[in-house]
């Protein structure tokens, strides 16, 4: 009986024990992709974006499920490779640019930026620039770290 209970909890995650449910489609990855693709002339919904990512990323989906055993918010993770693969599948050119180049990027351009809170191991966030205007200070003026910037162009 105990083995069955442990197996059930391990395969379903601790989501059963948590009050709040977490869904990938309501997370920052699909949000940033929605805003970016909308700026580039596409109109998929956040749910459609999330479904495409989850269906194309079986390995990462498994990793999300395993991590969600420890923290239900792991269901909301969108990995950098998933962002890049989604954009490539939509025929959107991705150019990695430096933080310095990002600082002088005109508002007519579109970028997806991965940021985190200084000292926050598990606090990462995807943002679409210029839709999210405060990317450099998202977590506070001196508390935001920019990790990756993908400049996007429709092919």
Could you report the per-residue pLDDT of 101-117, keeping only the tens digit for each? 999 999 999 999 999 99
Q: Tell me the CATH architecture of domain 21-154.
A: Alpha-Beta Complex (3.90)
Instruction: Reply yes or no on whether the pLDDT at 16 is more than 50.
Output: no
Q: What pLDDT digit, counting tens, does each position of 82-106 carry? A: 999 999 999 999 999 999 999 999 9
Nearest by Cα to 94 from 106, 104, 82: 82
- For range 55-60, the mean pLDDT: 86
pLDDT at 15 over 90: no
| In the chain, where the domains are located | 21-154
Q: What is the DSSP string of 43-58?
A: ---HHHHHHHHHHH-H
Residue 94 contacts residue 88 (beta carbons within 8 Å): yes
13: confidence class by pLDDT, cuts 50, 70, 90: very low
pTM score, two decimals? 0.82
137 token code pair = 């200070």
Burial 102-136 (b: 16+ CB within 10 A, else e): beeeeeeebbbbbbbbeeeeeebbbbbbbbbeebe
Cα–Cα dist 48/88, whole Å: 16
Q: Indicate the Cα dihedral angle 62, 84, 144, 19, nearest 10°.
A: -30
């Amino acid at each position: 009986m105990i083995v069955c209970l442990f197996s059930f909890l391990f395969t379903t995650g601790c989501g059963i024990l948590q009050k709040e449910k977490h869904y990938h489609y309501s997370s920052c990855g699909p949000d940033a992709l929605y805003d970016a693709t909308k700026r580039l002339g596409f109109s998929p919904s956040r749910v459609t974006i999330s479904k495409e990512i989850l269906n194309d990323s079986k390995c990462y989906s498994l990793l999300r499920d395993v991590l969600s055993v420890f923290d239900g918010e792991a269901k909301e993770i969108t990995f950098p490779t998933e962002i890049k693969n989604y954009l490539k599948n939509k025929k959107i050119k991705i150019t990695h640019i430096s933080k310095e180049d990002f600082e002088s990027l005109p508002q007519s351009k579109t970028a997806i930026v991965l940021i985190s809170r200084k000292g926050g191991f598990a606090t990462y966030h995807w943002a679409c620039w210029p839709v999210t205007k405060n990317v450099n200070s998202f977590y506070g003026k001196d508390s935001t770290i920019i990790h990756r910037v993908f400049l996007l162009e429709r092919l």
